[in-house]
Amino acid sequence: MFEGSLVALVTPFKNGKVDEKKLKELIEFQIKNGTSGIVPCGTTGESATLSTAEHERVIEITIEKVNKRVPVIAGTGSNSTEEAINLTKHAAASGASASLQVSPYYNRPTQKGLYEHFKAIADAVNIPIVLYNIAGRTGVNIEPETIAKLAKDCKNIVGVKEASGNLEQMSRIKFLCPENFDLISGDDGLTLPVLAIGGTGIISVVANIAPKDVANMVKEYRKGNVDKARSLHYKLFPLVKAMFIETNPIPVKTAMGMLGICEPDLRLPMTAMLPENADKLRKALKEYGLLK
């Protein structure tokens, strides 16, 4: 259902508020450069520090600006099941193509708790749901067997954004789940390997600054041009590494500021990049050809 390069879009801020004008410009920039879908209010979108009103507004603006040209997978997950249901209902009513549901963070639920959490959300809405597995952020891994049970029991749970970094786990997901269940990479550096085991695409951080190359890498692989896709993978690789010198989205927002794409403003507890890391990032941007 969801394939290609889907951007994990940053949320631009200006003077402490969401910069709605810039948000619309970023969306247009992505679509013009071949991005297959927009994912607002995820980790890269600093959803954890958006108020409920801001969260809903960013999703509304995204859906309106995209205007059905590509899918919008709205980040509406929470560690509170009730809050996740409310955010997902709002996204559905606003016209989102799907919802991205991060595993509950901090609570560290059991696999049974994860199953019941996601099933409650799926039962409450009709739109497709993509699970988001990122134990490094949340403290809990959604096991492949749990994902497979959810895919079997909930017709609208249609895929998973896998950011475990574990290709063996991802292979187990593909092995256990229905053939049409979407495995989407959550790590830019693993996009090509994930495609090779049956993945459909990437929800990408680096696409915020290099959307065309990320989109083309996935397209070339899916067309069977493996050598071309591999070439783009290795071209992107140093830039991808630079995006994680510090905690995401600090580097990508800093890069966007350096490139004049948007203000590099972050919300606490995210802080400005250390000068020595900013120098490494600037060097990577220059070597890639994005910065003179």
Catalytic residues: 132, 161
Which residue from 93, 106, 115 is spatially nearest to 139, judged by alpha carbons? 106
Concatenating the DSSP letter of every residue in 110-147 gives -HHHHHHHHHHHHHH--S-EEEEE-HHHHS----HHHH
Q: Among 202, 173, 171, 172, which residue's Cα sits nearest to residue 185?
A: 202
The answer to whether 286 touches 255, Cβ cutoff 8 Å, is: no
Rounded to 5 degrees, what are φ and ψ at 162?
A: -100, 110
Peptide bond into 269 cis (omega under 30): yes
Question: What's the Rg (C-alpha) of the chain?
Answer: 18
Angle subtended by helix axes 52-66 and 20-32, to nearest 10: 40
The angle subtended at Cα 38 by Cα 31 and Cα 27, nearest 5°, is: 45
